Structure 1
Amino acid sequence: MRGSVTVTMAAPPEVVWDLVSDVTRIGEFSPETFEARWSGGATGPAVGAYFKGHVKRNGVGPVYWTKCRVDQCVPLEDFGFTVVVGDRDVNHWRYRLKAVPGGTEVTESFALETQAWSKLYWTLLGWARGRTNERGMRQTLERIKAIAESADAS
């Protein structure tokens, strides 16, 4: 009920951080979330800030909005958020940045909340969804990498 992908980018952590923590740019990177906007008065990344993500599941549908809460926000190191449905935490997404010689190692991960419904879902469909998530995370990170390594990072 979890997975991760790591990609090394030839860009400094400052550039990568600006990309992964600006949820309004997620539509440029994600194969499923095609837009997002800060909500509840939030204007940028901070622990406790909320945003809404507009999702097209598996890139084909259904299409729906998610409510997300920022849970980790350590500039240049760690940006994480939780997808919330009603009053329940459902899925945790995280970007961890690590400065390495010549750039930044970025790990994107997800961890589905362990609840009765998620255990059943993961047992029946988890193998497929896990692969879809890992492909999507790799695609997201490769798109971020292309922008971070270009002159057009801002």
Structure 2
Amino acid sequence: MEARVSESIEIAVPPSVVYEAVTDVANMGRWSPECTGADVKDDGLRPGVRPGMKFTGHNRSAKRPWSTQCTVTAAEPGERFAFLARGAGLRVAIWSYRFEPLDSGQATKVTETWIDQRGWFMHFIGPKVSGIHDRATHNRQTMKVTLQRLKETLEKEHQSS
């Protein structure tokens, strides 16, 4: 059975602002307790976030760092962002974000979802690499932290602008 974890939060800024922050994957480390950032594979031909764009996500647990190779699968400004993460060429997870306008578009409900895509080998090797044995519970906890930090940062930045 496929594991799926989702968390949501309301942020008092427009969906376009939240979308821009979340899709700036190089800066995800500002909010995430596990992801430390990313390196975007920019071919220079088509700037901006788009389906097919690739990046390397960098992560760190208490045990050690690791990276995933990611491919954007959805990039709908102000609405949806998703990517497939792979490790050693094998599927690891699909991460997605939905941005729903609230308060006549002045606020946003953000839903972050993780869908486990690991096969038997990644289920076996993953805990050895990351030190995380219950990935679903761990991701739910880190998603709550990430979304709360995102909310605090964006509301503070938006209020002062």
Unpaired runs of at least 5, structure 1:
none
Which residue of structure 2 aligns with residue 52 of structure 1?
Answer: 56
Q: Tell me if structure 2 keeps the 8 A contact 1:22–1:44.
A: no
Distance across 2 between alignment mates of 1:114 and 1:66: 13
Shift of 1:35: 1.8
Which residue of structure 2 aligns with residue 5 of structure 1?
Answer: 7
Give SS of 1:150's match. helix
Structure 2-normalised TM-score? 0.82
Distance across 2 between alignment mates of 1:90 and 1:127: 14
Shift of 1:64: 1.5
Q: How many residues align?
A: 150
Distance across 2 between alignment mates of 1:22 and 1:65: 17
Shift of 1:5: 0.2
1:38 equivalenced with 2:44 (yes/no): no
Q: Tell me if structure 1 keeps the 8 A contact 2:67–2:87.
A: no
Select the residue among 104, 110, 126 that pairs with 2:108: 104
Identity level (%): 30
Select the residue among 81, 84, 92 that pairs with 2:83: 81
Unpaired runs of at least 5, structure 2:
126-131
Q: Tell me if structure 2 keeps the 8 A contact 1:38–1:44.
A: no
Shift of 1:84: 1.5
* One-letter code aligned to 2:19: W
